[in-house]
Amino acid sequence: MCGRFAISNPRFSRIEATLGTTFPEVRPRYNISPSQTIPVIRGSADGGDEMVDMRWGLIPYWSEEPKVSYSTFNARAETLAEKPAFREPFRSRRCLIPASGFFEWKTDAGRKQPYYLTGVGDGGLAFAGLWDEWRRPEESLLSCTIVVGRPNELVVGIHDRMVVILPEDAYAVWLSPRTSLHTVRSLMRSYPAARMRAWRVSAAVGNARNEGADLIQPL
């Protein structure tokens, strides 16, 4: 699963170049956790793409209150079309969640060691995501979830799940509501291990109150 990620670069050059759009700079953050506000890229009403802020932890539009009784910050790729909270967003409200890398914990001899996993180069990664809008006459709330699937050869030695990271040629296809679900499902495959790196980091990342570039530095 993915319960922490980082944004170490204020720009996402790879995503911007691929989509042909310039997005606002974002402030670096090194220990992003569920329920926090994060930048999300989605299709806009004019047919382009836009970056908007959303709460990490999807609130279905049909929820009676702007909260849920179960965890929705991750969505399993295998069951997106079945789960009530994710079924409609999977069909037509897909998004990209820009990031520099994410954290996973490896259990060894009863001890959990955090690892930072990132891409090769500094152009940024795009996580597959879903979004929804909870709305009432007096208020509204945009929220999202990160899709997780099977690990690649690098991650499998650390954790049995990993974020679905989309390759550049899948960005526009994933975002388009016109893409068939058959095609969308084919995009949720493991990101190539050869395009990733991983290293051990400080256990301090386990505390959501900790922040700073030292959290992604190799031990």
Q: Give catalytic residue positions.
A: 2, 104
The DSSP string of the chain is ----EEE-SS--HHHHHHHT--------EEEE-TTSEEEEEEE-TTSSEEEEEEEES---TT-SSS--SS--SEEEGGGTTTSHHHHHHHHH-EEEEEESEEEEEEEETTEEEEEEEEESSSS-EEEEEEEEEEEETTEEEEEEEEEEE---TTGGGT-S-EE-BPPGGGHHHHH-TTS-HHHHHHH-SPPPGGGEEEEE--GGGGSTT--SGGGGS--
Rounded Cα gap, residues 74 and 86, in angstroms: 10
